[in-house]
Amino acid sequence: MGLELQQGANAPLVHNRILVGIGWDAGLSWDIDACAFLIGSTGQVRHDQDFVFYNQAETPCGSLILESDPDDDQRRFRAFLDRVPEDVTKIIFTVTLATEPDVEGCPHCGLLDQLYIRLTDLAGEDELIRFDLKPAGRERALMLGDLYRHQGTWKFRAVGQGYNGGLDTLATALGVNLQSSTAEETEVSEDDRTNPAVTLSRRRSPKQVRAEKAEALQKALRRFLPQIRAAVDNQLNESNTRMILDKILMDVFGYSMDEIKAEQKVQGRKADYVLAVGDQDLIVGESKRAGLTLRDKHVFQSTSYGAYSGIRWALLTNLATWRVYHIATHDMVTANLVFSVDLLPDVSLEDCERLLLISRFGMTRKGMLEKHWNEVSALTRESLIRALLTEDVINKIRLVIKRDTGCSFDNEVIQQVVEDTLIHP
């Protein structure tokens, strides 16, 4: 249990990399959001990109990231305080309700129950600081707390201050450049997609955001298809294949050059690539000559490095085929296929939704790839057999057989027949 603060109190931080979790009564059906503002010396944001909210989930410097599907809290930010620009003096965390102002009976912050903000270590296991709020006002926006610089370190202050107006009013007061919006649907240009003046009035669910990202990935990837097709037809050597792959990882998947680490070694094993975000290695990659048939030995090469370095995901590709594996190291090293995508002759939107999981966007959204892997592994033959051999299912089969045939059998007999049918057909 971490340090519990009262309103107005503050406490120093011992970690520079933390999770900021915000929560409330999960049973509330209102449209509630959490957002954050990076504030400069003027008391306002330095530019619109210092506003982190549902349609702009990350600062350009990567210091603050709003997670799309947090596990334990209603909303969660990943804060890398060692990346915060020097001219940012504090980060304000807020909740807002999207309701009509001054309308009797509309929900307001005073009705929020079980509201809190808490700070944990980056793994989310050790709670450092917690502030439980009991708001009493009728405001539609509430400043929960802020992280601020103090004598070369960071501290957290429990604020709990209501603010008249909703998110648009609060954002404007803190210096975000918002334009008035209409209720009509308008065509949004590419530049406007990252402009809070437009996107604030075009709220998108995490599912919609992922769909738009997948469409953008498909569009970017299709520009490389002629080059990939030519590389396969000409059986391009491995060195030139990797030059194309480098460009794809940067221009399509969003990794920067320094996040694509080449020729990494650990305990005598060598990886063609390691993809990282910040200082965290996330995916080990093995690149083969364009169009080369991928075999089991290549899978071993792509996963053995990850097993020895603690990386749980492996990418194996020959440009045309992209395979992603989950690496497990319990009793022995195992590599299980998460998905496989063939880019030629064309790449589908469904395939791009899978590839999005290993993009920089996907890997910075904690749990996206893990959730997909859990869904894949839950429907494997082994998982289905385990489910069918549980006592509840066997008992149900026994009752159905008795109902349909009039024959009675013990559960042990039914289980043996099911095992013989499923495991030894």
Higher confidence at residue 263 or residue 51?
A: 51
Mean per-residue pLDDT, 76-90: 94
Q: What is the pLDDT of residue 374?
A: 87
CA dihedral of 147, 148, 150, 155, whole degrees rounded to 10: -10
pLDDT at residue 58 is higher than 60: yes
pLDDT band at 409 (very low <50, low <70, confident <90, very high): very high
Q: What percent of the chain has pLDDT over 90?
A: 50
Q: What is the pLDDT of residue 103?
A: 45
pLDDT at residue 102 is higher than 60: no
Lowest mean pLDDT among 107-116, 199-208, 412-421: 199-208
Mean per-residue pLDDT, 140-146: 91
CA atoms of 282 and 309, how far apart (whole Å): 10
User: Helices 391-405 and 411-423: crossing angle, nearest 10°?
Assistant: 100
Neighbours of 230 (CB within 10 A): 12
Q: What is the pLDDT of residues 159-217, one digit of tens each?
A: 998 887 778 888 888 999 875 433 333 344 444 545 555 455 555 567 777 888 999 99
Q: What is the pLDDT of residues 345-393, one digit of tens each?
A: 999 999 999 999 999 989 887 678 988 888 888 888 888 888 888 999 9
CATH 2.60.60.30 maps onto the chain at 3-200
Per the listing, tokens 């290993």 go with: 358
Give the β-pairing of 313-317 and 321-329.
antiparallel
Q: What is the pLDDT of residues 233-261, one digit of tens each?
A: 999 999 999 999 999 999 999 998 889 99
Q: What is the pLDDT of residue 99?
A: 55
Name the nearest CA neighbour of 246 among 287, 195, 188, 197. 287
Query: What's the N-to-C CA distance of the chain in angstroms?
Result: 53
- Encoded tokens for 217: 């990935």
- Encoded tokens for 352: 């791009």
CATH code of domain 3-200: 2.60.60.30
Q: What is the pLDDT of residues 306-341, one digit of tens each?
A: 887 888 999 999 999 999 999 987 767 788 899 999
Q: Which CATH architecture has domain 221-378?
A: Alpha-Beta Complex (3.90)
Q: What is the pLDDT of residues 19-31, one digit of tens each?
A: 999 988 866 667 7
Which segments of 162-262 does DSSP mark as H helices, in order? 167-173, 196-199, 206-222, 225-233, 238-251
Q: What rounded mean pLDDT belongs to the chain?
A: 85
Name the nearest CA neighbour of 128 among 35, 21, 23. 21
CATH 3.90.1570 maps onto the chain at 221-378
CA atoms of 211 and 191, how far apart (whole Å): 18
